[in-house]
Amino acid sequence: MTMRSSSFKEARILSGLNDEQREAVCSTNGPLLVLAGAGTGKTLVITKRIAFLLNQGVSPENVLAVTFTRKAAVEMRERVEALLGSSARGVTIATFHALGLKILREHGHRLDILGKATIYGTAEQLNLVETILDEVDPEGHFAAINLLSRISRAKNRGLTPEKLASRELDEMTRRAVLVFSRYQAELRRRGVLDLDDLLLLPLTLLREHTRVRNYYTRRWQYLLVDEFQDTNRSQSLLTQHLAGERRNVCVVGDDDQSIYRFRGAEVGNILRFREDYSGANLVTLQVNYRCTSPIVALANRVIEKAKTRYLSLLTLCTARSLQESDSSE
């Protein structure tokens, strides 16, 4: 690529961005937290940041972007390829669970996991827990559905049965951990995984196997994570291990929109980001391209009393905002 061609593509990539969006796209080295309310163009920033990295000479194979849904991953890839064409096809864009499955297929043998392991659904998980409870809990202290929920929460916090067993526990919790341990052992014996294993086991690999961790930190030198306020602890720790010493990680999210606590999301992950990544830069996207001023003002009044948040990002729209819909998410 000639310098003139590169400059032309850069101008195209940065076209239409406001000052804050441009800063988020161009701040490529080191950790970056982008606080972005609904309608402020966060998806646009992520896709243009990927395009900007590639235009700066970063290999597509060295870029990893993580989203929460397959639909969002497909949309992100389409946007990046619209900007850069086929040269962007080597970028890894995946959900956390798809990423975990990819890691397990490549290195799961280190944990005695088959490359094409079956993944259990809820009904199969419950049947397995019921079978274990028939043996270890004949008195009926536990309901299978409640215990399965506790196991899921533990996995989403990056906790194995061994880690839990090392703590000081009461009798009931010890029994629950015993079921957890038997459950994991039986999954391995059957050669299957559950959905939470797609987070816990890759995290275990990166924690315990230095060569595996080094392989991925060399492979993915630039990380981008969307909707970071909805990550659970396992996902946050997985991101930290993949970021490695380079710490070229950009997370985008809004602490005012964390609504998935029921499935393990921890808004503390985004609130602690600048503690976990010392020296991290902070960019706030403050122009709302979706809503009218009265709606944004009302949203601000509703959320302003929340105790755990950075700040309200739903700032008043300018007169031009709604006319610039091509700069929205």
Q: Domains in the chain, start-ordered, CATH in brackets?
A: 3-85+210-327 (3.40.50.300), 118-190 (1.10.10.160)
pLDDT reported for residue 327: 37
The DSSP string of 181-210 is HHHHHHHHHHTEEETTHHHHHHHHHHHH-H
pLDDT at 308: 52
Q: Distance between CA 101 and CA 66 in Å, rounded?
A: 13
Q: What is the pLDDT of residue 317?
A: 34
Q: pLDDT below 70 — which residues of the chain?
A: 1-5, 255-264, 288-329
CA 164, chain centre distance (Å): 24
Please tell me the predicted confidence (pLDDT) of residue 178.
93
d(CA 204, CA 315): 41
C-alpha separations of 151 from 111, 177, 264, 291 in Å: 20, 8, 11, 41
- Paired with 155 in beta bridges are none
Per-residue confidence (pLDDT) for residue 289, from 0 to 100: 52
Q: What is the DSSP annotation of 199-243?
A: HHHHHHHHHH-HHHHHHHHHH--EEEESSGGG--HHHHHHHHHHH
